[in-house]
Amino acid sequence: MDDLARNTGEKLGEIDALVYVTGDNTPDRSLKRLTPAIWDAMVSVNLNGAYYATHAVLPAMRQRGSGHLIYVASVSALVPDPSGAAYQAAKRGMLGLAHAIRFEEKENGIRTTVVCPGLVETEILAKRPVKPAPELLAKALQPIDVAEAIVAAAKMPQRATITELHLWPTLL
């Protein structure tokens, strides 16, 4: 992440915003099938990666006195659901990470937003133990819907922050 931040800064200039939108899940999500290795993998991608990316860009944002960290979590960060303990714990951890950063870094002009989408039709759905029915997928959010929510949060003036944005499919 440090190399990525440095290379991005060299090629594109200062990083004004970071959008962390990486996630993973597993079909072995129930506690009966969850192993320490699967737990570690879920937490590594869904939470640790957010921290490492943040750690890479935060010093320059502090120095500039501004920056916006946007994390895409999940409704699993808000309410219990069948996504599994490791996924839910990591996404709730991301929510806690974002709020802690906002609290600690607000005097440095750093803002955070967590976007918590409901069902989105992406490749992560292939990792579910039971695939969503076509009728359900027809009602799901599309990736562009999440992207538009991210852009809306990013366009807020420096004096305002959307701290959490809950994005649900209208028909679910």
Which backbone phi and psi does 116 adopt, to 5 degrees? -115, 90
pLDDT over threshold 90, residue 130: no
Which candidate in 32, 91, 131, 155 is catalytic?
A: 91
pLDDT over threshold 90, residue 73: yes
Contacts of 64 (CB under 8 A, 6+ apart): 14, 109
- Band the pLDDT of 124: cuts 50, 70, 90: confident
Q: What pLDDT shows up at residue 141?
A: 97
Concerning whether 87 is annotated as a catalytic residue, the answer is yes
How many CA atoms are closer than 13 Å to the CA of 140, on its beta-carbon side?
16
Residues 88-102: pLDDT tens digits?
A: 999 999 999 999 999
**Rounded (5°) CA angle 127-128-131:** 115
- Report which of 29, 63, 71, 26 is spatially closest to residue 47, judged by C-alpha positions: 71
Residues 149-164: pLDDT tens digits?
A: 999 999 999 999 999 9
Average pLDDT over residues 107-113: 98
Q: Are 152 and 139 in contact (CB under 8 A)?
A: no
- Report which of 68, 113, 120, 122 is spatially closest to residue 95, judged by C-alpha positions: 113
**How far is residue 41's CA from residue 12's CA, in Å, rounded to a whole number?**
31
Which candidate in 87, 106, 139, 155 is catalytic?
A: 87
> What is the DSSP code (8-state) at residue 29?
-
pLDDT over threshold 80, residue 172: no
Burial class (CB in 10 A: 0-12, 13-18, 19+), 83: buried
